[in-house]
Amino acid sequence: MVKKTESVIMIDLTQFNKDLATLGIKVTYTMVVYIGDTYRIITSKGEEIGGSREDKEKIIAHLLSKQPFLPITGEEMNHGYLFIETGLAADVMEKLKILLRSISFSMDKYVLEERMQSCSLGILDSAVNAIEAKDVYTKGHSDRVAGLAQLIAERMDLPYSEKEVAQAGLLHDIGKIGISERILTKPGSLTDEEYQIIKSHPEKGAQILEPLVMFKKSAAAVRHHHERYDGKGYPDGLAGEEIPLLARVIAVSDAFDAMTSDRPYRKAFSYDIARQKILSASGTQFDPTVVEAFNSIEEKKISSVIGSRA
């Protein structure tokens, strides 16, 4: 009955009304739901009452003073109210309470998931900052990759939320947390052993994220963002559409930002040269569909993400 979006609770009134019909309940109601600073006031006709927070609070106060109601109460907090018409029989009231307990359970689960995600993301964000603090050359890299990935995902109309794309971009290098600063900032060529250590970061990143259910899609993107479309990448040698779509998006975003950033061993490429390198690797290193979407994005939009370096 409760659906989760970016930070708004969506009540599935269609299902709620079906449940009412199944139980033989005919009732006109107004449902008020809130979590944190988010308020929603919805009528039994599916109409939502808008307005400012202050306006909604006045409406809720008026309803509390004038109409009978049943609280939507969870384990730790009140999630809202169901305002109902007067004169309902006691057995009908009991049936309504049963339905509201189901909604409360769903909302309790939502709140718990949000808390866990917020806490976990805070820890992981600190880890990303720690990685970037080791290497001045990659400072802000994860933020830029997230921004570029969001532009590509938007252009491709991908079935991911903005949050999912951003998380995958922000966390794609989380596996570098255990790699020494000496290797990350080495100005010359890496030894074979050092290169193998660097190549381990996608797997290590996935291992960090996989136990966290809310980062399942991010974990797959993190593990596979160094796969190649032709199957010559790592860690699993996946090819084409075997590679998770979000990983293919991150791969292009990661490569473009890396090319337009200074590195210990080279200066940044210009915007035009970096873009041409992405195009030339279409079908070999990168998914042609993702490259096409990237190439169609206006330069000013990309520059707004990566800055004037381009």
121 domain-assigned: no
pLDDT the model gives residue 111: 65
78 domain-assigned: yes
Q: What is the pLDDT of residues 153-163, one digit of tens each?
A: 999 999 888 88
Number of domains making up the chain: 2
119 domain-assigned: no
- Is 100's pLDDT higher than 50? yes
Find tokens 């939320």 and name the residue. 161
Residues 156, 297 within the same domain: yes
Query: Average of pLDDT values for 122-142?
Result: 76
Residues 151, 300 within the same domain: yes
Lowest mean pLDDT among 69-78, 111-120, 217-226: 111-120
Residues 55, 102 within the same domain: yes
Residues 165, 108 within the same domain: no
Residue 108, token pair as written in the block: 């309790």
Residues 257, 302 within the same domain: yes
Residues 93, 214 within the same domain: no
Closest CA to 172 of 201, 138, 152, 134: 201
From CA 228, how far away is CA 240, in angstroms rounded? Answer: 8
pLDDT the model gives residue 77: 65
122 domain-assigned: no
Specify the long-range contacts of residues 188-194, CB closer than 8 Å, at least 24 apart.
Answer: 188/265, 189/265
- Is 7's pLDDT higher than 90? no
Query: Average of pLDDT values for 70-74?
Result: 76
Q: What is the pLDDT of residues 225-278, one digit of tens each?
A: 999 999 999 999 999 999 999 999 999 999 999 999 988 778 889 999 999 999
From CA 284, how far away is CA 273, in angstroms rounded? Answer: 18
Residues 56, 103 within the same domain: yes
Rounded to the nearest 10 degrees, what angle do helices 201-209 and 192-199 cross at? 30
Band the pLDDT of 10: cuts 50, 70, 90.
very low
Residues 108, 157 within the same domain: no
**Partners of 211 in the β-ladder:** none
Which of residues 183 and 240 earns the better pLDDT score?
240
Residues 193, 256 within the same domain: yes
Band the pLDDT of 302: cuts 50, 70, 90.
very high
Which of residues 54 and 11 earns the better pLDDT score?
54
Closest CA to 167 of 135, 133, 212, 134: 212
- Is 114's pLDDT higher than 60? yes
49 domain-assigned: yes
Q: What is the pLDDT of residues 24-42, one digit of tens each?
A: 888 888 888 776 667 788 8
Residue 39, token pair as written in the block: 């308020």
Strands 38-43 and 69-73: unpaired
Domain termination site, one of 97, 112, 127: 112
**Which residues constitute the domain of residue 104?**
2-112
In the chain the beta strands, taken as DSSP E runs, fall at 2-4, 9-11, 29-35, 38-43, 48-49, 69-73, 78-84
216 domain-assigned: yes
Average pLDDT, the chain: 84
pLDDT the model gives residue 35: 62
CATH of the domain at 256: 1.10.3210.10
- Which one-letter amino acid corresponds to residue 125? D
Residues 149, 47 within the same domain: no
Residues 69, 151 within the same domain: no
pLDDT the model gives residue 34: 72
Phi/psi class of residue 46: alpha, beta or left (left: φ > 0; alpha: ψ in -120 to 50)? left
Residues 183, 248 within the same domain: yes
pLDDT the model gives residue 204: 92
From CA 97, how far away is CA 105, in angstroms rounded? Answer: 12
40 domain-assigned: yes
123 domain-assigned: no
pTM of the entire predicted model: 0.65
